[in-house]
Amino acid sequence: MAFTMTMLAWSAVDFGDHLSSRNELSNALGAIRWGTDYLINAHPDPDVLYGEVGDGYSDHDCWQRPEDMTTPRTAYRIDDQHPGSDLAAETAAALAAASIAFRQTDRQYANQLLGHAKQLFEFACNHQGLYQNSIGVAGGFYSSSGYEDELVWAAAWLHRATNDGKYLDFLSTRGTDGTRSEFSWDDKFVGAQVLIAKLVLEGRLQKSSGTWGQYKNQAEQFICSCLQKGNSNLGRTPGGLLWIHQWNNFQYVAAASFIASVYSDYLQTSSASIQCPGGSVGPSDLISFAQSQVDYMLGSNPKNMSYMVGYGSKYPTEVHHRGASIISIKKDPTPVTCRGGYGSWFNQNGPNPNVLDGAIVGGPDQSDGYYDSRNNFQQAEPATVNVAPFTGVLARLA
């Protein structure tokens, strides 16, 4: 959830003018505030952050509407005795990015966001540890592979929000961790590398200083690999979709497309290009890549179907989503029981009774195949981390 908010905020920060020209900026800010209000409420004390409500295991045993849920709503937290640097730092990044997005329209709220972001970053640094070691129920579903990436990601956003040199000092002492093969909720290094590369392109940091040059080079090598011009190119399906993981591949496609979109503008502003192993790459090449991925997602693919629900004439109708797959409580208030929902709704063939407009499902397999079934959760489950990066990409292309 925090990564979703960071990416929505980055969309508004870098593509705010594009959103505004389409009268969508207020909608974007409204969506961000919905999430950041929650994160603020989850942070009642400097060294306390609530990270999960409910239990993934008991929740997955049930197929119910949110209004009918009977599973325990236990709240789990991290604190100074039970750390979670990844969770705290990612939340700090989200609030710092959002503070920039709100700076022009609501300075008081922006300052409130920034205050929480600073506290959470200090919490993440002073009490280090993986969050699933403190919130065990999270480990089976969203286990973090490390927290160093969140620390540098948060520091990069706090520097952009404050221009305080202490965050650059922090970044100068951390490892850039090499060229990455994905940008995702679990691996933020590419995002941090791109934010530092922006400062180098603007002349605010010297590339000759080894660390800053490494950040920039590794950001650009990731982009090269997305465009098939690197030394270790990322996979593609026969239809041209970037292929990174079999489970919810679209979240990685969306994030990579976002990186290409923002970096295109950074290069354009600096009259620069990327020297990839496979040749020079300019701003238009990056936008063409992002456009190709969006076109695929919206219907230019071997299935001739849109993977955004409700868009186009053909799109997934059996989305793996409890609320969408069960009749609205407004039409039938009869409670749906925990296990009863499987027999009455989950296992029924046919379209969901509610269209989940705007949701982006996990997407096709490595051969461009897609099976539209609620049971096919690897492909048919939507996620907010799919939509958030594409918000910025679509704004840039509009």
Catalytic residue positions, numbered: 320
Taking each helix axis from N to C terminus, what angle separates 2-21 and 85-102, rounded to the nearest 10 degrees? Answer: 20
Neighbours of 22 (CB within 10 A): 11
How many alpha carbons fall within 13 Å on the CB side of residue 345?
Answer: 24
Task: Give the integer Cα–Cα distance in Å for 215 and 194.
Answer: 7
Task: Give the integer Cα–Cα distance in Å for 299 and 315.
Answer: 9
The β-bridge partners of 11 are: none
- Residue spans of beta strands (DSSP E) within the chain: 48-53, 75-79, 235-236, 242-243, 274-276, 279-281
Task: Give the integer Cα–Cα distance in Å for 147 and 187.
Answer: 9
**DSSP code per residue over 1-41:** -HHHHHHHHHHHHHHHHHHHHTT-HHHHHHHHHHHHHHHHH
At 160, the amino acid letter reads R
Phi, psi of 25 (to 5 degrees): -65, -40
Burial class (CB in 10 A: 0-12, 13-18, 19+), 346: middle
Task: Give the integer Cα–Cα distance in Å for 385 and 252.
Answer: 9
